[in-house]
Amino acid sequence: MSEPEILGESLPFDEKIELPGWPGQSADIGSYKAFLEESVRNYESRWADIAKELPWFRTWDSVLTRERHPHVYTWFGGGLLNLSHLALDRHAASSRRDKVALIWEGEPTDESGAPKEVRKLTYGELLRDVNRFAHVLKHRFGLKKGDKMAVYMPLVPEAIVTLLAAARLGVTFTVVFSGFSSESLSSRMSDLGATVLITADGFYRRGKAVLLKGITDKALEQAPSVKHTIVVKRLGVDCPMTQGRDHFLEDLLQGVPELAEVQPEAVESDHPLYVLYTSGTTGKPKGIIHDTGGYAVLLHATMKWAFDLRDGDIYWCPADIGWVTGHSYVAFGPLIEGGTIIIYEGALDFPHPDRWWAIIERYGVSLFYTTPTATRAQMKFGDDNVKKHDLSSLRLIQSVGEPINPSAWRWLFELIGGKRCPVGSTWWMTETGGIMISNLPGLKLTPMKPGANGLPIPGVRADVVDEAGTSVAPGKKGFLVLQNPWPGMPGPPTGMYGDPDRFESQYFSRFPGTDYFFCGDYAIKDRDGYIWVAGRADEVLKVAGHRLGTYEIESAIVSHVSASEAAVVAVPDAVKGEVPIAFVVLKQGHEPSEELRLEVKKWVRDGFSPIAEPSKVFFVSKLPKTRSGKIMRRLLRAVAEGKPMGDVATLEDETSIEEARRAYEDLKVE
């Protein structure tokens, strides 16, 4: 494995940045590690202590039950709770009733640069809207606990209302990113067996109206389980409505009493809150199931620890609800804590590159959860963009989604946080439900290192191991594993929706004889025990922090008439972290051309998603494969990057060096 680096920058393992002005507690690494070790030894009781801080309808009988499929556990079995009750009712019944829960800003601006539309909802108002929406779902469509629904929505307040209303009824939902195509939407809805789809007529992106209803109509042709759609009017444009199937939300709400109340359903702790489809190593995306109780406990703990959220804070995470970050740290986490969240509809650089900084200034954002890609994009726009805004309200910054290169970390720390804010890089994934490895300024702030994720959170045992599952020496690259169950992990009944075998083989078969959860990431542990995640070690791509599978892009390509075979690999990109490139073998009768290259790119954009468009398309006569038919991806990457073949061949099982070398040379010539 090559030298540890992130985007070509070497990692400052020994640098330690302290923040004497941080009003929370600080800790030296040694004593903090002793504290962590105790929490890991007694992880069940430590998690139970945290669970006790939340209001349950009924307390659990046992903290952790290991009786399902080999690695599917029940956390807080016997406990009853409801997430919308946690996120709304308890706040609306307290002094937080008139506190602003949600601030929404639409993308369009007037000549002065001010947003044309801003909506604010207090906890009392959000609860009212959620009750009314839940009333529609329950009384008009008969949805009840255990039913399934799908959500395909832009970032509008109704999206948050939708998730909370589903949680209120115990209806398991799946959100599909509004940048995915109709095929992605229909396959997810069908896999889950959703009966109702909540969507919108469209939204604004970079000044253009993006229409959604046409896409959902196409998706519905392939998703017979869906009997009804509810359409939120965001744009107010004409859209095709199928009688009896499609309903505008505003029409449905007309029949609902202003003060309608729908009691939050007391669901079992292991009741599936949602299923989120995410890209794995092979095949189609699979649905990761998240429970209710364990998930709530993890979110509560990490909101306190990683974000130090308090009354008075304005919290902003610009993630889309289509990704797990939007579920955990836009919608549920901060609202469980009674925070004020911001959601913004549009692009970060529209109409001017300073839009994000204007938002931070406008609302006095104090807690900011950003991404490395956004940071690098902003660095390119230049510091003046930032300097014309007053960012003094900020007091804490976290990053997520991909490794952060040290210079991007420094830019956040120095320029955005003015050297007063802790800056961290929270490592986690769709499967973990919430943050697993991070600095925790709300608990104890340990010295920061530019680019590091840090130590695992209390109760979580993580390590970096070699192929055999043995802990590697400090500074050496290996595979990241989680060694104990954690609350928020993929939940009952099967971890992966409808596919317990794949759940077991994808995550738990890599290190036989252990119970290690294989994360799929390369990582390095330094001498202080800090973990530095360095990128994916499998066929998953992180493009601008978005998780995509090579298989999904390849399938989109080969659905084009001209393509017989395709291989997609990721190459480093200075802004997006990595981008996909495609090698395509054409069918007989089709010739490589610039036109065809552009057409293939467009095909992926329209057929799968704009974020998946290959940055380069190479036409080749054949793909290098191992004898068992596996594509030699590392070799493709080496060719694309113009790198020497190096030890590539030895990394591809079953392939002789000679064969690999020949394939490499042939490809280079082409």
Task: Using CB under 6 A, list all residues that contact ligand WTA.
Answer: 278, 323-325, 400-403, 425-430, 453, 519-521, 533, 536, 542, 547
Give the phi and the psi of residue 391 in degrees, each rounded to 5.
-105, 20
The minimum distance between CB 657 and ligand WTA, in angstroms, equals 30
The minimum distance between CB 401 and ligand WTA, in angstroms, equals 5
The minimum distance between CB 379 and ligand WTA, in angstroms, equals 18
CB nearer to ligand WTA: give 265 or 521.
Answer: 521
Q: Are 433 and 298 a contacting pair, CB within 8 Å?
A: yes
CB nearer to ligand WTA: give 134 or 531.
Answer: 531
The minimum distance between CB 577 and ligand WTA, in angstroms, equals 9
Widest pairwise Cα distance in the chain: 75
CB nearer to ligand WTA: give 32 or 428.
Answer: 428
The minimum distance between CB 251 and ligand WTA, in angstroms, equals 36
DSSP string, 217-279: HHHHHT-TT--EEEEE-SS-------TTTEEEHHHHHHTS-TT---PPP-EETTS--EEEEE-
CB nearer to ligand WTA: give 353 or 577.
Answer: 577
The minimum distance between CB 398 and ligand WTA, in angstroms, equals 9
The minimum distance between CB 26 and ligand WTA, in angstroms, equals 21
Give the phi and the psi of residue 46 in degrees, each rounded to 5.
-65, -40
Pairing status of strand 531-536 against strand 517-525: antiparallel
Q: Give the Cα separation of 226 and 213 in Å (integer).
A: 15
CB nearer to ligand WTA: give 77 or 318.
Answer: 318
Q: Give the Cα separation of 537 and 551 in Å (integer).
A: 15
The minimum distance between CB 521 and ligand WTA, in angstroms, equals 5
Q: Which residues of 125-164 are buried (b: 16+ CB within 10 A; e: fewer)?
A: bbbbbbbbbbbbbbebbebeeebbbbbbbbbbbbbbbbbb
The minimum distance between CB 542 and ligand WTA, in angstroms, equals 5
User: 401: which DSSP letter?
Assistant: S
CB nearer to ligand WTA: give 272 or 403.
Answer: 403
The minimum distance between CB 547 and ligand WTA, in angstroms, equals 4
3-state secondary structure of 356: helix
CB nearer to ligand WTA: give 56 or 332.
Answer: 332
CB nearer to ligand WTA: give 168 or 536.
Answer: 536
CB nearer to ligand WTA: give 295 or 427.
Answer: 427
Cα dihedral 315→317→321→325 (10° resolution): -110
Cα dihedral 211→105→168→55 (10° resolution): 150
Q: Cβ–Cβ contacts within 10 Å for residue 216, how many?
A: 28
3-state secondary structure of 303: helix
Host H or E run for residue 213: helix 213-221
3-state secondary structure of 333: helix
Give the phi and the psi of residue 283 in degrees, each rounded to 5.
65, -170
CB nearer to ligand WTA: give 346 or 520.
Answer: 520
The minimum distance between CB 372 and ligand WTA, in angstroms, equals 8
| Amino acid (one-letter) located at 567 | A
The minimum distance between CB 400 and ligand WTA, in angstroms, equals 5
Q: Considering just the CA atoms, what is the radius of gyration of the chain in Å?
A: 24
The minimum distance between CB 583 and ligand WTA, in angstroms, equals 23
CB nearer to ligand WTA: give 401 or 549.
Answer: 401
Kindly state the tokens that stand for 610: 């704009």
Nearest 5°: the CA angle 337, 342, 345 is 140
Q: Give the Cα separation of 166 and 176 in Å (integer).
A: 15
DSSP string, 522-572: EEEE-TT--EEEEEESSSEEEETTEEEEHHHHHHHHHTSTTEEEEEEEEEE
Host H or E run for residue 602: helix 594-607
